[in-house]
Amino acid sequence: MSEPAVTPYWHDVPGPPRRGLVASRPLVARLVRATWKVRVHDDHHVPSTGPVILASNHVGILDGPLLCAVARRPVHAIVKKEMFRGAVGRTLRGMGQIPVDRRATDPAAVKAALAVLHRGDALAIYPEGARGAGDFTVIKSGVAYLALCTGAPVVPVVCLGTRLPGAPIGSVPPARSPVDLVFGPPVTLPRTDWPRRQDVVREQAQWLQKWLVGHLRYACELTGRELPGPAAHPEPEPGPVVTP
């Protein structure tokens, strides 16, 4: 009798390219740091090698470029598929980012994320599923699913200052404004063989949600900052995450 599969079959989907990500990071980092006053806290919590999931809150459009630019390692991020159009889409693909359909089952995105983790790279995911208040009140189950599949540690991340209070969801803060990125200690969920029951994934996602809220509280105390609150024009709520 064969051994139970730890992860779903993902080998038919190539992982996102790494070369463009590594090559573009210095330029993106210089642009971000030249435009805003970037303050990075506790990034020593990000393991220097091996697979890792960076689970970040999401308040504004700057969160993704900020995290991918200043993290201590190259980061492949899961990005809504609507961004992958025209020149922007080609650039994102060339930089190794992963498109995801947030409103339906997207096995290709899940498999691409698994490929990133299985080759020992870093993956960024926004558990809330959309830009908004950034308070981790509700998260999707994708981060728990990926952690259970791979055993990769999850590092909490909080972005503060990337959107002004009451500003539209697609806005960025004024030039030279301070923006803070706060990393927390990693946690590892017990790697779970197939089948991973939905109730197990939900239970672990609920635990992660409370843990992320705790890190958010710490980040606000550390920086003396608060979240910007609801956006003037929030993103539509994505559908539930359904994993293969």
> Any idea which residue has 């980061």 for tokens?
75
**Which option is the CATH number for 19-163+174-223: 3.40.120.10, 3.30.70.60, 3.40.1130.10, 3.40.50.300?**
3.40.1130.10
Residue type, 155: V
Long-range pairs for 162-166: beta carbons < 8 A, 24 or more residues apart:
162/59, 162/60, 162/61, 162/62, 162/63, 162/66, 163/59, 163/60, 163/61, 163/62, 163/131, 163/228, 163/231, 164/228, 165/228, 165/229, 166/228, 166/229, 166/230, 166/231, 166/232
pTM beyond cutoff 0.95: no
Residue type, 116: V
> Any idea which residue has 């950034």 for tokens?
134
Cβ 208 vs Cβ 154: under 8 Å: yes
pLDDT given at position 2: 38
The Cα 64–Cα 206 span in angstroms is 24
The Cα 214–Cα 75 span in angstroms is 24
pLDDT given at position 9: 60
> Any idea which residue has 């220097």 for tokens?
48
Enter the tokens of residue 13: 């989907």
Residue 76 DSSP SS3: strand
Domain range list for the chain: 19-163+174-223
pLDDT given at position 4: 41
Enter the tokens of residue 169: 């969801």
pLDDT tens, N- to C-terminus, the chain (244 residues): 334 445 556 666 678 999 999 999 999 999 999 999 999 999 999 999 999 999 999 999 999 999 999 999 999 999 988 888 999 889 888 888 999 887 877 788 999 999 999 999 999 999 999 899 999 999 999 999 999 999 999 999 999 999 999 898 889 999 999 999 999 999 999 888 765 788 889 999 999 999 999 999 999 999 999 999 887 766 665 655 433 3
Residue 48: how many other CB atoms lie within 10 Å? 8
Spatial CB neighbours of 48, under 8 Å, sequence gap ≥ 6 = 72, 73
The Cα 233–Cα 114 span in angstroms is 33
